[in-house]
Amino acid sequence: MIPFPHAAKWRVLLKAARAATTGLGDQPSVARYEFTALKPMPYQLDGEVRSVPANTTVRIESAPLSPDRHRLSDPPPAAHPGAGGDQGRGMEH
């Protein structure tokens, strides 16, 4: 989550284009973020849209990256010889 102040639509689009092309540079990072929804607020989790009522405290916690998971920017793990039909990509049969 990268918060930034309310802005005109063209500024949001410009920031999104810059983020997609050149990146936003180093951004602050936190393991936990908490705020209070002042009015009913929709959110999306795993494709499902839900809503929290007004005056609800919302806490977002970031799970640590496990050794078998990789960031999207990391290259895929190397194939393991003799891994079978999955070409060594970690697929369990």
Per-block mean pLDDT, blocks of 10 residues, the chain (93 long): 75 87 81 92 90 94 72 57 47 41
Instruction: Note the pLDDT of residue 69.
Output: 62
28 phi and psi, to 5 degrees?
A: -60, 150
Confidence (pLDDT) at 4? 65
The answer to whether the CB of 2 falls within 8 A of the CB of 30 is: no
| pLDDT the model gives residue 56 | 95
pTM of structure: 0.44
Q: If you write DSSP's letter for every residue of 14-36 in order, what string do you get? A: HHHHHHHHT---S----SEEEEE
Nearest to 65 by CA among 29, 21, 41: 29
| pLDDT reported for residue 80 | 52
pLDDT for the residue numbered 42? 92
